[in-house]
Amino acid sequence: MAVRHFLTLMDLTTAELNGLIARAIELKGSSRAGEIHEPLRNRVLGMVFEKSSTRTRVSFEAAMAQFGGHAIFLSPRDTQLGRGEPIEDTARVLSRMVDLVMIRTFEHDKIERFAAHSRVPVINGLTDHYHPCQLLADVQTYVEHRGAIAGRTVAWIGDGNNMCNSYINAARQFDFRLNIACPEGYDPDPALLAAAGDRVTLTRDPATAATAADLVVTDVWASMGQEEEQKLREAAFAGYQVNGELMARARPDALFMHCLPAHRGEEVSAEVIDGPQSVVWDEAENRLHAQKALIEFLYCG
Ligand code: CP
Ligand code: NVA
């Protein structure tokens, strides 16, 4: 059988994704009850990080430990990747030694090239274009707090970045409406927008996007690799902060999410991220449970 990868949310069917969310909730419950479940006993996950990480690294490493396996952290600084060994060669070698691979990198085509030469499942731990693992955790968090996300309205406020692109795919796969508000010049991938049809709208006005939303989501204004654009972006995104005034446009029971790390006073005010509508800590924790469900699905079928 062909190896399954998770490079974007479109690699799984809607039924498979919904199954993963249900399984993540189940695994969270059994793990909290102290049950031992080791489907990856003696198995190894290779983790290639070309960008920084707190949540992604710790959640994958903890997931493998809890599953009875092991994770290896690899960075370009101390592997041959940093000295120019081709990604295809790295894929061929790593996938003969480990059972799964997770990669966080820059260009999305790099993870596609890796996957094309890998004998084992490859998981996208973030590229410049997508962050699908985060969406599993976000959907799990919404479902836990409010029930099914299908038919709901999500507002994305800010940069049309990797998270925004993954929200567009999620709107298709999980069947929710997505209102995106971002400044001109910072739009998400137009091909993804076109493929999503009229369930996804794009506006320049955050208040319009947030109106009657069930969930309001934002992310940093300058993503990893864009640090030198910080000042330019602060100017472009002024007016795109998720604050109390903007949250008041959403439904009274709306939730707030942010993949973290966050910058209070920039993309989100402290009153919102530290307030009662924010579920960011559950969202961060759910990276662990959602990825355990993903690893189990990819490895065990
Ligand atoms: N949300 C997220 O991916 O966090 P890290 O960059 O800390 O992994
Ligand atoms: N858009 C952010 C997400 C970080 C988890 C980035 O790419 O830096």
DSSP 264: B
Strands 215-218 and 70-74: unpaired
Residues 51-71 have a mean pLDDT of: 98
The pLDDT confidence band at residue 120, using thresholds 50, 70 and 90, is: very high
Contact 138, 258 (CB under 8 A): no
Say how far apart CA 54 and CA 265 lie, in whole Å. Answer: 21
The pLDDT confidence band at residue 166, using thresholds 50, 70 and 90, is: very high
Task: Give residue 215's pLDDT.
Answer: 99
- From the CA of 104, give the closest atom in ligand 1: 8
Residues 131-150 have a mean pLDDT of: 99
Task: Give residue 285's pLDDT.
Answer: 98
- At a CB cut-off of 8 Å and minimum separation 6, what does 29 contact? none
Reading the block at residue 104, the tokens are: 């966080």
The pLDDT confidence band at residue 301, using thresholds 50, 70 and 90, is: confident
DSSP 11: G
Mean pLDDT of the chain: 98
Topology (CATH level 3) of domain 5-131+284-300: Rossmann fold (3.40.50)
The pLDDT confidence band at residue 44, using thresholds 50, 70 and 90, is: very high
Say how far apart CA 214 and CA 171 lie, in whole Å. Answer: 13
Task: Give residue 10's pLDDT.
Answer: 98
Task: Give residue 141's pLDDT.
Answer: 99
Query: Looking at the whole model, is its pTM more than 0.90?
Result: yes
Task: Give residue 243's pLDDT.
Answer: 98
Q: Which of 102, 223, 280 to mutate for ligand 2's pocket (most ligand atoms within 8 Å of CB)?
A: 223
Q: Is 219 annotated as a binding residue?
A: yes
Task: Give residue 30's pLDDT.
Answer: 98
Contact 299, 99 (CB under 8 A): yes
Helix (H) or strand (E) holding 90: helix 87-97
Task: Give residue 2's pLDDT.
Answer: 86
Task: Give residue 287's pLDDT.
Answer: 99
Where are the domains positioned within the chain? 5-131+284-300, 135-278
- From the CA of 57, give the closest atom in ligand 1: 8
CATH number of 135-278: 3.40.50.1370
Does 5-131+284-300 match 135-278 in CATH topology?
yes
Q: What is the pLDDT of residues 249-280, one digit of tens each?
A: 999 999 999 999 999 999 999 999 999 999 99
Q: Is 56 annotated as a binding residue?
A: yes
* pLDDT at 1 exceeding the cut of 90: no
The pLDDT confidence band at residue 187, using thresholds 50, 70 and 90, is: very high
Q: What's the CA-to-centroid distance between 198 and ligand 1, angstroms?
A: 30
Task: Give residue 87's pLDDT.
Answer: 96
